[in-house]
Copies of this chain bind each other. A is one copy, B any other.
Amino acid sequence: MSIATALDALVPLLGERLARSKSDLDLHAGSESHFPPIAPDAVAYPLSLAEVQALVAICADHGCPMTGWGAGTSLEGHGLAVKGGLVVDFTRMNKVLEIRPADMDVTVQPGVTRQSLNEELRATGLFFPVDPGANATLGGMAMTRASGTTTVRYGSMRDNVLGMQVVLADGRIIRTGSRARKSAAGYDLTALLVGSEGTLGLVTELTLRLHGIPEATSAGICAFPDMHAAVTAVMETIQMGIPMARIEFVDAATARAFTDYSGMQMAEAPHLLVEFNGSPESVAQDAERFGEIVADHGASTFRWSAREEERRALWALRHNGYYAILASRKGARALVTDICVPISRLADAVEQTQADIAASLIPGPILGHVGDGNFHAVLLVDPDQPAEMAEAQRLSHRMAERALALGGTCTGEHGVGMGKLSHMRAEHGEGWDVMGQIKQTLDPRNLMNPGKLVP
């Protein structure tokens, strides 16, 4: 009973879809963030529910850890097999199973990416709105409770997963939720599993809410004299009930990185990027009202457009933000922080973070989903200088403590993974033990993504 015997037993089930080559292991050893590579013992590429159930049964028999894998875009090392064993790569379970336009929902396999889903949906007039930037898989997005630029309007994965099919650690298959828009029938297992990071089971199917593609969209950008003015403008916009589809903040350092990366000229100043969805009249009206608010706060002229190519250029800039910032320091790796605070504390949180970074050894441009109170400092470290990584860890730790002191959370959207475990006790107190009890009940031998999320 060992990992080795489990892998031997998996060969008849998976054949060549049980990969043990160095290249396969290396591909599943890395992450987009600062964690050192950790290779699993093997990678499985299941094609069906039946195969997932069978591989879980074999792994359970032999005590072999199982860690799910989607597009590998996690920033907190969720997919790294820190206790060894099997990485279960879902990228070949990538079918859109059923689109139901009348119900505005869709059932997909976990390896479908958000962009490929939206391509398949194009003819229906519907779309799936959750947009974390990276082209992640929907299974991975559900398991990390992903959100992103559109959450201020459309919600996160918490709000857009109607139900799941999951294989539990003991091989049972459960279906959670239903296709009804709401239910009061017992514990909300869907919500328990969304954000569980693969520690309770492997998701094999998801049913997701869809939304109508808005008739019209307007988007624009403006610069502010300082960060405080930008954040105050966001707060006023929310309080006036102007419905933003996206509202993104970038600081002066990020604006400079964008300019250098894209060639688009941005002033080296804090900016807001904003988008409105609705009818042609309403998006024009929303943009005008927003323009008045930001002018009151000393913003540069608010340039907006309802033309698709201009909007696309703007959001391509934002979507490449992480890579633009990475490129701003040659050879750097990034530690990306992810705190989220009540909106009234956002200006304080950003200001204190900027002061911390300014007084530190390393650069750390800031950008974020300010409509939700969520922002990231992308701390850039030279991987050959251990002192820099220690400095980034110190800054990250101070940010998390600050978020908790302000009534917020250490991670708004990236998840716990390996990077936020040390903050869970401070954030949840005895609630973290309750999470551990639930884990212990459903996975008593700790085979599902061990080393993540729970005590």
Contact = CB atoms under 8 A, between A and B. Distances in A.
Contact of A431 (B147, B175, B196, B373): B175
A431 B189 contact: yes
A12 interface: no
B187 A373 contact: no
Contacts of A103: 342-344
Contact of A180 (B104, B188, B373): B373
Contacts of A174: 428-431, 434
A298 interface: no
Contacts of A156: 182
B188 A158 contact: yes
A316 interface: no
Nearest to A440: B441
Contacts of A430: 172-174
A92 to B, nearest CB: 26
Contacts of A434: 168, 172, 174, 189, 442
B441 A182 contact: no
A451 B176 CA distance: 22
A150 to B, nearest CB: 12
Given A105-B342, A183-B340, A415-B184, A189 B282 contact: no
A408 B342 contact: no
A336 interface: no
A420 interface: yes
A186 B158 CA distance: 12
17 contacts: A100-B344, A103-B343, A145-B183, A147-B184, A151-B182, A158-B182, A176-B428, A178-B427, A179-B342, A180-B342, A183-B411, A184-B195, A187-B195, A187-B438, A188-B194, A212-B239, A437-B442
Interface of A: 100-105, 144-147, 151, 156, 158-159, 168, 172-176, 178-189, 191-192, 194-196, 212, 214-215, 235, 238-241, 282, 338, 340-344, 372-374, 403-404, 407-416, 420, 423-424, 427-435, 437-438, 440-442, 453-454
